[in-house]
Amino acid sequence: MPIAVVPHPFGIRTREEIRTIAGQCVEDVARLFCAAASDDAGAKRQEPRVQRAGLVEVPDDLAEFNRFFLERHWSDGLPLVPPTEERVAAMLRHTSRARDEVVAKIAPAYGAATVERIAINAVLAGCYPEYLPVLIAAAEAMATPALNLQGMQATTNPVAVFLIVNGPIVQRLGINSGNNCLGPGAWANATLGRAVRLIQQNIGGALPGEMDQSTHGQAAKYTLCCAEKEDANPWGPLHVERGFAPEQSTVTVVGALSTLNMNCHAKDAADLLRVIGDTMAYPVSSDYVYGGAPWIVLSPEHAHILAREGLSKADVKQRLWEASTLAASRLSARDFARVANGRRAELGDITRDTMLPISVMPEGIGIVVAGGPGTHSVYVPVSAHSRAVTREVVLSS
């Protein structure tokens, strides 16, 4: 696929400089379209054949192996596991899909994520072979347009793919849903999230400083994965809410900008929802510019307080939607202009007195229950125009 490169960012450029850049971009796009039309004239366009992964001779010494991969931009900067033929073959035995089957095209390079290539990156990340079906489902979910992986992979935002796993596969793989579920200590959580990042980089082409233009990045870009603590969820599991049967296993992908701890000792629902909503409402959030889809990771204790007073999950979302409105006057002048243009069709004419909802509808707020004992929940704002996607984890028969 031909690519037109747009110099970025524009924040400190003059209008004249931007006009010049835009003119060059128009010329580049037109040239690429004309070249493609010329190549296709009188011929049927053929889908390029996906090549099997080739063998590469690497140093035997583990330190030198890692240096070798780092120099070729195949590493995330942490130690890797050599993806030998034997290790990849062991991984592939945990799916009935053909090794050369294309599961998805991963943006922004739209590389073909074959089952084999997913398995190779899983080995690199340190995954056990039985983790492969989760990663196949995650690749399918990431490539779904609603997630907007193209935008996520090339933005200056520090967005990371957040994996949430539900269903029987959680116990089978030992995915942590309790204490420290978003932190270290669980092999499955750490390596599954890391493998997803390596898939984004090695198949999708999102190399830091090249396609990946994140200004600062965040530690979650190494790995961010947890399971829902379903036995502590008073409203039923996330995957059931999203249309799956309880006995199915799923993975949900979220475009997470950060994780913000919310330590609140409130013991009644109204007080708790008020402070969580107030925490969500901050003026540099992408969610208010575009009408987003943020997430709350509720601790079991906070979920219990809300359910004890008879609130359904829909009630909680409605109350948070109302409590998290943001006065447009709190935005910078430039960001106010972005909102006034970007959300006019949704909200009509926007003034400095307008109270902006964080999402288009209350249903846009995602809620998952996870974590250990304690008065902590986590707020997860999301990347612009990104919507969570859930896919079933299909085990080999």
- Tokens 């030998």 belong to 84
| Sheet of strand 376-380: strand arrangement | 260-263, 376-380, 295-298, 366-369
pLDDT of residue 44 exceeding 60, the answer is no
* Average pLDDT of span 185-208: 97
* Torsional class of 174: left (φ above 0), alpha (ψ -120 to 50), beta (otherwise): left
Q: How far is CA 266 from the centre of its chain?
A: 31
For residues 262 and 49, the model is more confident at: 262
Give the torsion through C-alpha atoms of 13, 19, 23, 29, to 10 deg. Answer: 60
CA distance 138 to 163: 8
Torsion sign across C-alpha atoms 60, 63, 65, 71: negative
Question: Would you place residue 8 in the very low, low, confident or very high pLDDT band (cuts 50, 70, 90)?
Answer: confident
* Average pLDDT of span 26-32: 88
Summary mean pLDDT of the chain = 93
pLDDT of residue 5 exceeding 80, the answer is no
Task: Give how far Cα 378 sits from Cα of 40, 180, 263, 338, Å.
Answer: 51, 12, 9, 28
What pLDDT, on a 0 to 100 scale, did the predictor assign at position 1? 62
- Give 217-270 pLDDT, tens digit per residue: 999 999 999 999 999 999 999 999 999 999 999 999 999 999 999 999 999 999
What pLDDT, on a 0 to 100 scale, did the predictor assign at position 7? 75
The token duo for 125 is 């990340």
- Tokens 């929940």 belong to 377
For residue 108, whether the previous peptide bond is cis, meaning omega lies within 30 degrees of 0, is yes
* Average pLDDT of span 1-20: 79
What pLDDT, on a 0 to 100 scale, did the predictor assign at position 10? 73
Residue at 40: amino acid letter: D
Q: How far is CA 126 from the centre of its chain?
A: 20
What is the C-alpha radius of gyration for the chain, rounded to an integer number of angstroms? 22
pLDDT of residue 47 exceeding 70, the answer is no
Task: Give how far Cα 309 sits from Cα of 147, 273, 297, 302, 313, Å.
Answer: 34, 12, 19, 11, 12
CA distance 373 to 368: 15
What pLDDT, on a 0 to 100 scale, did the predictor assign at position 314? 98
Q: Where are the domains of the chain?
A: 62-256, 260-380
**Of 355, 365, 388, 277, the residue nearest 317 (C-alpha):** 365
CA distance 227 to 170: 7
With beta carbons less than 8 A apart as the criterion, state whether 269 and 229 touch. Answer: no
Torsion sign across C-alpha atoms 51, 59, 202, 70: negative
The token duo for 187 is 């092999």
**Of 368, 372, 11, the residue nearest 163 (C-alpha):** 368
- Tokens 């011929």 belong to 43
CA distance 268 to 276: 13
pLDDT of residue 28 exceeding 90, the answer is no
* Average pLDDT of span 47-66: 86
| Residue 63 burial (10 A CB sphere; 0-12, 13-18, 19+) | exposed
Global pTM value = 0.91
pLDDT of residue 179 exceeding 70, the answer is yes
Helix axes 115-125, 187-202, angle to 10 degrees: 130
For residue 9, whether the previous peptide bond is cis, meaning omega lies within 30 degrees of 0, is yes
Lowest mean pLDDT, pick from 40-49, 240-249, 277-286: 40-49
Phi, psi of 39 (to 5 degrees): -65, -35
For residues 58 and 44, the model is more confident at: 58
| Residue 305 burial (10 A CB sphere; 0-12, 13-18, 19+) | buried
pLDDT of residue 6 exceeding 80, the answer is no
What pLDDT, on a 0 to 100 scale, did the predictor assign at position 17? 87
- Give 298-334 pLDDT, tens digit per residue: 999 999 999 999 999 999 999 999 999 999 999 999 9
Going by the DSSP 8-state scheme, the letter that residue 204 receives in this structure is T
The token duo for 162 is 């957040």
What pLDDT, on a 0 to 100 scale, did the predictor assign at position 9? 72
* Average pLDDT of span 184-191: 97
State which H helix or E strand residue 162 sits in: strand 160-166
